[in-house]
Each structure stands twice: as structure tokens, then as C-alpha cells.
Amino acid sequence: MRKLIADIDIVDQSTENEPGIIQNNDASRPVLIPKKMYIESYGCQMNFSDSEIVTSIMLKHGFSTTDTAEDADIIFINTCSIREKAEQTVRRRLAQFNSIKKKNPGVTIGVLGCMAERLKTKLLEEEKIVDLVAGPDAYRDIPNLLQEVEDGQKAVNTFLSREETYADISPVRLNSNGVSAFISIMRGCDNMCSFCVVPFTRGRERSRDPHSIIQEATDLFKKGFREVTLLGQNVDSYKWSAEESPDTKLPIKKHGTENFVTFAQLLEMVARIDPMLRVRFSTSHPKDITDEVLYTIKRNQNICNYIHLPVQSGSSRILKLMNRTYNREWYLAKISSIKEILGDECGISSDMITGFCSETEEEHQETLSLMNEVKFDFSYMFHYSERPGTLAAKKYQDDINPGTKKRRLQEIITKQQEHSLERNQGSINQLHQVLIEGYSKRSKDFLRGRNSANKVVIFPKGNHQKGSYANVLITGCSAATLLGSAI
Ligand code: SAH
Ligand code: SF4
Ligand code: F3S
């Protein structure tokens, strides 16, 4: 039974239904019940951020939300294609939704995001229960697509845009802790890393209007949020052309005849909203991160001392095959600049891929030796998964056997754990400013927050509150967490 959400008297039974509204024509008195949407997200933070945009669009069009799939009229799954495993997870989930659809054939199942974009109409052939497919730039069209489904058709929009940034849409924060939020500052990616599907699923890179970014961050701060993370696949190539924006208050950089706002300038503008608002960003690309960004971090106490700088491999030959456009030496020089300008306490994390096409044992050892030189605080580590349509799939053979890929992966994971522990031990007896995000998962007597370098810190609750800052003396650690007490 659907719950009655709205009880509205003024219904013209002769007109067509508004999108998102179910008319209860059986009742003695007409009522309007908003259709309920359930959304589940996979993949990177940008995808989670997109689900908040989709929710905003849906609410504007008269739909409501539910956090139970069984209770929904529309089930959306916002998908990721980055590795084969990510797609398998989505397919398994779709199979589970099948049982819901069997019980309630009226339910609409929509696939959004990167897998929708990659497979397009093929998805409808492969997954019979899917009614709607919408790529990352087609979310404004979802209400129309739902109408098509209502009219008995399957609906698809996987058009990729060169302009869409959803700048004017206020995301509806989902699963928010009320303290930290993500803000998309750009979409797409113009790099062509040979292993990566993102340029195909997210299209060309475009930057969002800085005014709308500042507005969103300011609103979040007013609502009590104390941390924003600026998101993009390659934030260092953020570039907003001043020609599109005659606002003289913007810090405009002149480059030849071109006027534009750079990432470093955007970062500073967000940092100036309020000293109590922490600013983070992700992801930086080693070929593009500038000293200007590093000095901007140094100048602004509220820009966090943490850089996610994915290296992918320690071997220059593999980096060339990956089309990362930097080599080992370039990467290590960037690390030296970071340590020189921001000091050794700056948190540095990475992404790494083992077993890329033709990677030799020596080249794998080069990744381990690079790790020894840098000592990352944290890394996301994967074994190579060939993605159809990418440069690597076309040009190189996926010739490292799965056992070797996994063994190499395990070796870098073990190395990373040693380094994470060592780096955390270096924090003992230091005083860290922690932004409190909530209770520790294990006990309500303890609070959980993060320091500037993005490390999780656990400490006894005392009188401290979520959303405030505490100065915590670090007294112990594991590889994953710092422990301490607030002073
Ligand atoms: N824009 C970011 C990365 C986004 S994807 C950057 O350039 O660093 C996140 C990570 O997934 C990548 O850094 C990479 O380590 C991993 N990844 C991407 N494609 C992959 C593939 N085909 N197989 C395994 N890992 C992959
Ligand atoms: Fe993929 Fe490379 Fe773009 Fe990152 S920079 S999203 S790895 S193509
Ligand atoms: Fe996955 Fe798409 Fe993000 S492929 S990692 S959800 S950009």
C-alpha cells in the first residue's frame, strides 16, 4: 500500500497528470500522491554528488524520495564503469531489483551514470528490467524520460554536453553528516590516460561558473557545514573564462589576450568565505598541479594540508604507456615541491594500478621503490582491469595474468600499510586541529573527526560537539586511525 503523502482538494480530473504525481481516482475524494524515487550510487564522489543533483531535479518536478527500494515507484541506480568489478556489482544489484519488479510491475527502473553512458541502448538489451537509461549530462531530461516510460516506451538519453555543469541546481544533500559536503567544480576529462574509461563516460572537460561555486559553499556554511571538498577529475585544469563573466570582483588572471580564473584563484575565493570553513579538493594531476596552488594552501590556514596526487605507477615506461604525460622523475620533483612548500606534515595520498599491460617484475619493483621514496599517507590500489574502447584496450595486450596482478597488488597494499603506520606514528605527541564529524563508529563515548591532513582522529567525547573544532593531542595510532585526547 502506498502511503498518502499529500491530500490536495483542487484536482482537475480532466487534465493530464503532473510529472511525479499519481492520481488516486478510486478514492471518494481525489488526492495527489507524489511518486517516490529511490536512488543508489556507486563509484566516485562525483557520482554521489550527481545523485544529489538528480534528487534536486526530481523534487522540483513533484516527486518525493524514499530510502527503501521496496517502497519506491522509481528506482535509480547511479553507476560506475571504472573497473569490470564495478559493473558486475551493478548487474548483481539490478538482478535484486528484478524481484521487486516482479512483485510490483509498475515500478520504473532507471540506470544513470557512467555505465549508462558506456552501454547506452545496449543496456536495455542486456538488462531486460531496465526502463530508462540516462547518461551524466542528461539528468535535466529525466522527468521527460519518465513520461516516455509512462507512455509505454523505453527511454534513453546519453547525449554528452560540452556545456552542462548543473551550475544552477542546488544539490539535495543525501546521507549528509551536516558537517562536510562535496561541490563539483567541473565535469568531464580531457586527458586520455590509456587505461581510463572516464573521458568516454563523462565527456569533455568543462568548468563551472565560480559565482555558483561560491554561492553553494556560502549556503553550506550558513547551514552549519564546516568543510567543503571541491571535486573534479583534474581540478588543476579548472579554468573559467572571464569573457563569459564580466564580474570585476573576480580575481582575473591575464594570459596573453585571454582572461581567466584559475584553480588556485578559485581555491582562495572559497577559502575567504570564512576562516571556519575548511576547504579540500580532489583530484590533482601530477602534470598540472602548480606551485601557485601550493602557495595558496600555505597562505590560507583553512585550506587543508592534504593532496591526493595519483601516481599510478613508479615506472616511466609504464607511465608513458598509460599516457599520463609525466615520468617518475617529474612526479618525484612534484613531491619535493610539496614537501618544500608545505612541509613534511602535508598529507599526500595516491592511486596505483598494478599489472598494467606488459609491466615487468622490475617495473613493479619501481612502483614499490617510488612508494619508499614518497611514503604516502594513504593509497587507493587496484589491479588493472581492461575497459572496452579505451586506448589501452585498442593498442596493448592485457597480458599480465590475474595471479600476478593480484600478487603485485598485495605487495603494494602491504607496503602502503607499513607506510601509513609509520606516517601515523610520526604524529604521536603532536597537537592536531580536528573537525568533528560525529561519533566514533565503535562507541558513543568517543568522537570521530579528521585533521587537516585528512587522517581520521578518534578521541573521548568530553563536552565537544559535532561540527566544531577540537585541538587533539595524538597519543596513539593504527595504520588507519589516530587516537588522542582533546585539550
Ligand atoms: N581523475 C583521477 C582518477 C579517477 S579514476 C586521476 O586522474 O587520478 C580513479 C582511479 O581508478 C584512477 O586513479 C586509477 O588508479 C583507477 N583506475 C582507472 N581506470 C582503471 C582501470 N582500467 N583498471 C584499474 N584501475 C583503474
Ligand atoms: Fe581518467 Fe586520466 Fe582523466 Fe583521471 S585524468 S579521469 S585517470 S583520463
Ligand atoms: Fe566511476 Fe564514472 Fe566516477 S566511471 S569513478 S563513476 S567518473
Residue 214: pLDDT band (50, 70, 90) is: very high
CA separation for the pair 265, 236 (Å, rounded) = 11
From 195, 196, 236, 283, give the residue whose CB has the most ligand 2 atoms within 8 Å, as the site to mutate: 196
Task: Give residue 3's pLDDT.
Answer: 30
The pLDDT of 203-217, averaged and rounded, is: 96
CA separation for the pair 222, 203 (Å, rounded) = 33
Q: Which of 3, 5, 6, 23 lies closest to 14 in space, CA to CA?
A: 23
Q: pLDDT tens-digit profile of 96-107?
A: 999 999 999 999
Q: pLDDT tens-digit profile of 237-262?
A: 999 987 665 565 666 666 666 688 99
| 457 pLDDT above the threshold of 70 | yes
Q: Which of 37, 17, 119 lies closest to 388 in space, CA to CA?
A: 119
The pLDDT of 183-191, averaged and rounded, is: 97
Task: Give residue 254's pLDDT.
Answer: 61
- Whether 143 and 23 have beta carbons less than 8 Å apart is answered as no
Q: Is the CB of 202 under 6 A from ligand 3?
A: yes
Residue 13: pLDDT band (50, 70, 90) is: very low
Task: Give residue 10's pLDDT.
Answer: 30
| 7 pLDDT above the threshold of 60 | no
180-424: in CATH 3.80.30.20: yes
Torsion of CA 449, 455, 459, 462, to 10 degrees: -30
Q: pLDDT tens-digit profile of 37-90?
A: 999 999 999 999 999 999 999 999 999 999 999 999 999 999 999 999 999 999
Task: Give residue 259's pLDDT.
Answer: 80
Residue 301: pLDDT band (50, 70, 90) is: very high
* DSSP secondary structure letters along 24-86: -TTSSS--EEEPEEEEEE-SSHHHHHHHHHHHHHHHHTT-EE-S-GGG-SEEEEEE--SSHHH
Task: Give residue 334's pLDDT.
Answer: 98
How far away, in angstroms, is 44 Cα from ligand 1 center? 10
Mean pLDDT of the chain: 92
| 201 pLDDT above the threshold of 60 | yes
Q: Is the CB of 392 under 6 A from ligand 3?
A: no
Q: Which top CATH class is 431-486?
A: mainly beta
Q: pLDDT tens-digit profile of 25-34?
A: 555 555 678 8
Task: Give residue 265's pLDDT.
Answer: 95
Domain chopping of the chain, boundaries: 1-34, 41-157, 180-424, 431-486
Q: pLDDT tens-digit profile of 311-340?
A: 999 999 999 999 999 999 999 999 999 999
What's at 316, amino acid-wise?
Answer: S
Residue nearest to atom 2 of ligand 1 (CA): 233
How far away, in angstroms, is 263 Cα from ligand 2 center? 17
Residue nearest to atom 14 of ligand 1 (CA): 351
What are 148's three cell numbers?
A: 516516455
How far away, in angstroms, is 107 Cα from ligand 2 center? 36
Q: What is the CATH number of domain 41-157?
A: 3.40.50.12160
Task: Give residue 32's pLDDT.
Answer: 73
User: 235: which residues sit within 8 A by CB, 6+ positions away?
Assistant: 185, 186, 263, 281, 282, 283, 284
Task: Give residue 287's pLDDT.
Answer: 96
How far away, in angstroms, is 115 Cα from ligand 1 center? 15
Residue nearest to atom 4 of ligand 2 (CA): 233
Chain centroid to CA 139: 17
